[in-house]
Structure 1
Amino acid sequence: MNGNDFMSWVLRSPFHGLLSGGMLLLTVTGRKTQKKYTLPVGYYEEGHCLWVLTSRNRTWWRNLNDGAEVEILLKRKNLHGFAEIASDGKLVELRLVDYLKHVPKAAKPMKIRIENNIPNPQDLARTAIERLFVKITLTNEAPN
């Protein structure tokens, strides 16, 4: 069992509370293969939107290039959403500031220095080259 398998198991289990505050299961459909891929991802919530931060060198998000319907398991609830890529450097920098307000412990692994509660602008710019966000607008609860 690899790390993703373990995280997926926990998020589906009664123990989901250990991770559900910042993790969800996201199911995307391959554009060419139509195969469904489910993966655990970190997120933060803003209104009716979920924001997922991922590395640009991952490949799963490319299935969302033109926007796509996705399935979400969030706190053991099945939800549907519409996902769009937010990859513009300046937008990613702004989103990173919000993300770090919600998940301050993420600054250290991304090597973003925080001084007086303000993320270092050069570190944000560097990280925006390496990362992007997926914006998921929740549409409704999925049937069980």
Structure 2
Amino acid sequence: MTSTKTPTTQSRIQRIGDTVVRFILRSPLHPLLSKKLLIITVSGRKTGREYANPVGYAEYEGHLLIGTAATWRHNLIPNTPVRILLRGTNLQATHEVITDEPRAATLYREILTQNPTHGRFAKIHLDPDGTVNSADLRAALSRGTAIVRLRPL
């Protein structure tokens, strides 16, 4: 007997939501969402299939910061730019995946300051003094969370 893997209700809702967000970000209505969301397109390392992922971002020192635990980041190929759709404009961007705690703490502070909602999903919070809670960050990094830093070309 073979087992059939069925998507959970949550993953179905996520896929539907992502489809709607991609549609809006690619349309003239993109200003509704594009101040906080962009689309990053990566190719599967094994399949070559393209995946267009809507993600939240923060801007910091000319870079775009994406906090994520999603597996799409494993398809990023070193020294190979990715395509992004940022505020209605298609661009190429270089990338760096950051998983070390000291750099992640600095960058996550920016992400959480600009997008507090992300902290609830990532389970990372700012302490009263405005620094990233070390225990939260350490736990998130151990669960596979990383920061993808993009530099548009």
TM-score normalised over the length of structure 1:
0.82
* Separation of aligned partners in 2, 1:62 and 1:108: 23
- 1:117 pairs with 121, 130, 136, which one? 130
Q: Which residue of 1 aligns with 2:119?
A: 107
Letter in 2 for 1:60: W
Quick check: 1:93–1:128 contact (8 Å CA) kept in 2? Answer: no
Query: Structure 1 stretch 33-42 or stretch 104-113: which is displaced more?
Result: 104-113
Larger radius of gyration: 2
Alpha-carbon separation, structure 2, partners of 1:36 and 1:60:
10
Q: Please give the TM-score of this superposition, normalised by the length of structure 2.
A: 0.77
Identity within the alignment, %:
31
Q: Which has the higher strand share?
A: 1
Q: Deviations over 1:15-46 (max 9, x none)?
A: 21121111001111222322221110111112
Instruction: Detail structure 1 runs of 4+ shifted over 4 Å in the superposition.
Output: none
How far the C-alpha of 1:49 sits from its partner, in A, is 1.5
One-letter code of the match for 2:85? L
Among candidates 57, 61, 67, match of residue 73 of structure 2: 61
Q: CA RMSD in A?
A: 2.0
Maintained 8 Å contact 1:114/1:120: yes
1:22-61, aligned counterparts within 5 Å? 22-55=36-69, 58-61=70-73
- Contact 2:58/2:65 (8 A) holds in 1: yes
Distance 1:27 1:82 in 2: 12
Give the aligned residue type for 2:87.
K
Provide the secondary structure at the position in 2 that maps to 1:4.
helix
Unaligned stretches of 5+ in structure 1?
Answer: 140-144
Q: Is 2:68 aligned against 1:75?
A: no
Count matched residues: 137
Aligned-partner Cα distance in 2 for 1:40–1:95: 20
